[in-house]
Structure 1
């Protein structure tokens, strides 16, 4: 909040002409897009609105990507999906220099704003920068640092951007974009893919997909403005201020079906071989899988029932990984002694196999939204192997 206040006071100084009090005819509006960084929260990239006074040369970047680790209850709010972000402003030179030193690309797209539109945008940004207006409730996909930039530009242009982008289909879903951008951290990528529900697989239009800085930059470049001489492009010039020096994300999302299918098949074969030739190994591997399935199920339930992470609600992966798996843990120790599963374990195994069948049928039904084929292909052979291995031999009472 102090940063916002300092920036506001700096912009509001009346002693010299600058961004805060320049006439609209002297204001130059640009969209600044920063490439992805190395840290996981930087993988989606970032952007800002630059306002430049062409007379004094003063330039400020306005962005909506500030969060405070020291905020009271930050980690709890983060876990519950109730994150609070802030708007901030900084001199363009300082802002851009930081990203250049970090090795991230910087692209400036100058936008064709009329003096009235530029002045209206400046006034809105200054209003939004006030401490009482700077905070907002963050959402990964529908209300983030890029959608706020997009909406501010669209507001000043009278809705032109939304009208044109809404009419265009998007290129990827929320899931595909997330997996693509997080592919540099495979374990985090898999964790996010497992936790995303059907919300993340809905078809998007270009307006919705512009939650990403790179997509917004591409889409803005194709927006046309109406004028007395016909239409003209919104973007007048594009300048690569600094090239990218980091590894860039792939252009398309990796297909996880084959890797996870092979992983599931390999684990199933190892479990079956260990059950026959190395019972202690089966106990260890089986217990680890059941522990993973149970803990993952608990996590998915918490995301659905106790948080506002709506992208994780109603996750069909709960049919594959759920807390019932924890009940089967004692059965792996019985298997080590050559004993079959108990009657309770038999019931749980039967329920899990029915859940597995339901997950397959649900995926095959027309109109199914959630694309969780990779996890289906992983879980099916493993659960079938676990069921066979745990139910060998004659039944014993509880």
Structure 2
């Protein structure tokens, strides 16, 4: 749960919001309220790359408008980074006058799009009551999950609840366009090293087929999918849920690509180049060869430890069952001594030989897994990178041992 200081701050904010709103947003009849989905474009900091959104309630009589969002977190929260590593992120709901919140996004150059939604007066009132209930300090906190319980899924679910489940019914029956992995790679592509790290750490969960409902964990996707939703018009027919859409502020930051980058060619090429360097330095530059081989083994071992920890000791379910453990394993540490022994012309120990054979077999299994039916982890780029390097290491150890 949030700290006492955080709860007190939130309570003060709640009083500020409700205080001037008693004759407007907080207590206005549903017929006087307008509901809008406000979508903010991606930012340039890594935690802003997925974008953001909020629900706006506007009193048409007083003109007061309040934005409700679920994206508040605090770096100064006790054990923040430990909780982040363990997959136990604590987020909070927040409310702020529309002008104040949108002014920040205009200042930093992130786009703002407002979609006016067609909710019946009783639905609008129910949504308003739920949001103010959710804003209470005892209800504001939640355990954040990047894919299934984030600032956008909370907005989506609040709207769906107010509309009686129409959004989920429609979107759950519609196929999504990408997987969690593809969306993550696409949105993080401006920061390549972080993108690669995230891709390496994602398990088969990230490759399951998505519906338009699950794909709406992203603000832009929710904004897009709502355009196709129709709701009752109160006269026996239907009308679009999105009554009108306005771009309030243009984007001044680089726009993410429409598709995820294909990592197979760059990672495959990097693996072949590294393997080639290992092979060429086997006899001609033994010290360089040993240093490069040791560097790879240390990195492979550390990556394997990280993947194992993510699977067994954290709540990051999207990282569980990661097949990249077959390519990067803590077993790599057992080969470090063999690298330096081979430099002096000494044959690998029986343990090193067995470890190399086991590692090559594991890499082969990682490749063969793609022949299985069902959802298979899309880690072909990492197979293309790691397999040539392991083959080059095995070949070089044999060559050096017989000099």
| Structure 1 residue 16 displacement after superposition | 5.4
- CA offset at residue 287 of structure 1? 0.7
Match of 1:351 in 2: 358
Structure 1 match to 2:146: 140
2:90 pairs, out of 84, 90, 93, with: 84
Tell me the residue number matched to 1:383: 390
Q: Does residue 93 of structure 1 match 2:94? A: no
Instruction: Give 2:3's aligned residue.
Output: none
Deviation readout 1:196-254 (Å, 9 max, x if unpaired): 00000000000000000000000011111123252210000100000000001000000
Per the alignment, residue 176 of structure 1 pairs with 182
- Residue 41 of structure 1: how far off its partner (Å): 0.3
Q: What is the CA–CA distance in structure 1 between the aligned matches of 2:266 and 2:380, rounded to whole Å?
A: 11
Distance 2:286 2:177 in 1: 49
Please list the CA deviations of residues 349-377 of structure 1 after superposition, one character each: whole Å capped at 9, or x if unmatched: 01111111111111222335211100011
C-alpha distance in 1, partners of 2:248/2:128? 23
Q: CA deviation at 1:97?
A: 0.4
**Correspondence for 1:255:** 262
The equivalent residue for 1:264 is 271
Gaps of 5+ in 2: 1-6
Q: Which range moves more in the overlay, 198-207 or 344-353?
A: 344-353
1:276-310 per-residue CA deviation (whole Å, 9 max, x = no partner) reads 21101101110111011100000000000000100
1:304 to 286, 311, 321: 311
> What's 1:317 paired with?
324
Flag structure 1 segments of 5+ consecutive residues without an equivalent.
none
- Deviation of 1:156 (Å): 0.5
Equivalent residues of 2:347, 2:402 under 8 A apart: yes
1:303-346, CA deviations, whole angstroms, 9 ceiling, x for partnerless residues?
00000100000000000000000111112212322333222111
TM-superposed CA distance for 1:2, in Å, is 3.6
Aligned partners of 2:339, 2:355: CA distance in 1, in Å? Answer: 14
Q: Which runs of 4+ in 1 moved over 3 A?
A: 393-396
Counterpart position of 2:166: 160
Distance in 2 (CA, whole Å) between partners of 1:343 and 1:391 is: 13
Q: Which sits farther off after the overlay, 28-37 or 1-10?
A: 1-10
**Residues 355 and 16 (structure 1), Cα distance of their counterparts in 2 relative to 1, 3 Å cut:** closer
Please list the CA deviations of residues 141-178 of structure 1 after superposition, one character each: whole Å capped at 9, or x if unmatched.
Answer: 00000000000011111111111100100000000000
Tell whether 2:371 aligns with 1:332: no
What is the CA distance between 1:393 and its match in structure 2? 5.3
Are 2:67 and 1:61 equivalent residues in the alignment?
yes
Distance in 1 between residues matched to 2:22 and 2:295, nearest whole Å:
67
Deviations 1:101-158 (A, max 9, x none): 0110000000011111111100000000000000001111000000000000111111
* 1:372 partnered with 2:375: no
Output aligned runs, 1:117-266, within 5 Å: 117-227=123-233, 228-266=235-273
Given the alignment, which residue of 20, 37, 41 partners 2:43?
Answer: 37
Q: Which 10-residue stretch deviates more, 336-345 or 35-44?
A: 336-345
Distance in 1 separating the partners of 2:272 and 2:73:
43
TM-score, length-scaled by structure 2? 0.96
Partners of 1:4 and 1:57 lie apart in 2 by: 24
Alpha-carbon separation, structure 2, partners of 1:191 and 1:309: 14
**Are the equivalent residues in 1 in contact too, given 2:228–2:240 (CA < 8 A)?**
yes
Residue of 293, 299, 303 corresponding to 1:286: 293
SS at match of 1:52: strand
| TM-score, normalization by structure 1 | 0.97
Q: Is residue 286 of structure 2 the alignment partner of residue 275 of structure 1?
A: no
Worse overlay, 131-140 or 365-374: 365-374
CA contact (8 A) 1:63 1:87 kept: yes
Residue aligned with 2:115, SS: strand
Match for 1:341 among 323, 329, 348?
348
Separation in 2 of the partners of 1:81 and 1:321? 22
Number of residue equivalences:
396
Match of 1:49 among 47, 55, 59: 55
For residues 358 and 329 of structure 1, what CA distance do their matches in structure 2 show? 23
Change over 3 Å in CA distance of 1:203–1:298 after alignment to 2: same
CA shift in 2, pair 1:391/1:25, >3 Å: same
Equivalent residues of 1:279, 1:335 under 8 A apart: no
Q: For residues 304 and 148 of structure 1, do their structure 2 counterparts lie closer, same or farther at Cα, with a shift above 3 Å needed? A: same
